[in-house]
Amino acid sequence: MSAVASEPGVMVTLDRLTFRYGPRSTPIFQDFSWTVREGESWSIIGPSGCGKTTLLTLIAGLRRTTTGTITVGGTRIERPRPETGLILQDYGLLPWATVEDNVALGLRVRRFYGPDGTHAPRAEKVLGRRAAREVVEGWLRRLNIEEQRSRYPGAISGGQRQRTAIARTLALQPDLLLMDEPFSSLDAPTREDLQNLILQLQREIRLTSIIVTHAIEEAAILGRQILVLGQPPNTAPVVVPNPESGAPSFRSTGIFLDRCNQLRTLLGLTV
């Protein structure tokens, strides 16, 4: 990983990104450039196979670009960047560890390596055992999973599991939060509950967030900007500004419905 000079205020830069799975297959992205500025909240939406999850794993550093570069927070991405948080649909919790131990996992990994700049941020001092426990404590309380702390992921509800995954990621104080269909396996009330939680957190912490979803409503609720992807190859970003998102009762306004219809049209669905 090498530091690259970048504009101040820019969090993610995709510079003429090309990505394909096999040497002869259609590229998912071709010469695709896109910028996310600090503090922005983005939704990415598109039909299945459009490459939205691929894009997220590329930004997360879990996949390599074919050509072109991705820069996050001034760092060229070639492997996971310690300041980036990632939340997946299936939670990714350790089934043999309690809720509390799962929330502490990221901090333990950091202590395991020390501030080496590769696995944990270089500048920051790695938290000691006691300080880490306090951080974990705070997030268990903030996400309302204190009572579940000594239970195993197999014994709690889907919503509680996703809260555990969110707490585990936020305990590392990421500056960029990537979420891949985080709520799609949850029932409707729990999903809405967690969407509200994300909106709150976006306001509380200065967090840049990118959320991938296949649900039109979710894209409109969580993203102040919406990136619409189509069938590959994607060559230029199609962006729908959605500045009203996050306002109280945005879900029940006419603007919200109009925005959803606009997205449906862009996705080629009949309104």
- Specify the amino acid at residue 206: R
CB of 83 to other proteins, least distance (A): 9
Which is nearest to 209 in space by CA: 266, 217, 238, 219? 219
**Of 223, 116, 101, residue with least CA distance to 171:** 101
Structure tokens at 231: 């069938």
Residue type, 149: R
User: Could you say which of 3, 49, 67, 112 contacts other proteins (CB under 8 A)?
Assistant: 112
* Sole binder of other proteins in the list 154, 243, 254, 268 (CB under 8 A): 154
CA distance 179 to 56: 8
Tell me which H or E stretch contains 111: helix 99-113
> What kind and span of H or E run contains 164?
helix 158-170
| Nearest approach, Cβ of residue 260 and other proteins (Å) | 18
Query: How far apart are CB 77 and other proteins at their closest, in Å?
Result: 12
In the complex, what is the shortest distance from the CB of residue 35 to other proteins, in angstroms, rounded to a whole number?
22
In the region spanning residues 61 to 90, those forming contacts with other proteins, defined by CB under 8 A, are 62, 80, 82, 84-90
Is 165:87 a contact under the CB 8 Å cutoff? yes
Query: What is the smallest separation between the CB atom of 123 and other proteins, expressed in angstroms?
Result: 14
Told to check if 91 binds other proteins by CB under 8 A, we report yes
Interface pick for other proteins out of 4, 67, 96, 114 (rule CB under 8 A):
96
CA distance 265 to 202: 28
| Residue 131 in the binding site for other proteins (CB under 8 A) | no
* Tokens at 61, concatenated: 């550093």
Output the smallest distance, CB 78 to other proteins, in A: 13
Q: Tell me the β-bridge partners of 29.
A: 19, 234
Total residues contacting other proteins by CB under 8 A comes to: 63
Q: How far is residue 78 from each of residues 35, 107, 245, measured CA to CA in Å?
A: 18, 22, 33
The site map against other proteins for 10-49 (x = CB under 8 A) is: ----------------------------------------
Q: If binding is defined by CB under 8 A, does position 190 make contact with other proteins?
A: yes
Number of C-beta neighbours around residue 204 at 10 A: 9
Residues lying near other proteins in the complex (CB under 8 A): 57, 60, 62, 80, 82, 84-98, 105-106, 108-110, 112-113, 118-120, 143-144, 147-148, 150-157, 159-160, 163, 165, 168-169, 172, 189-190, 192-194, 196-197, 199-200, 203, 246-249
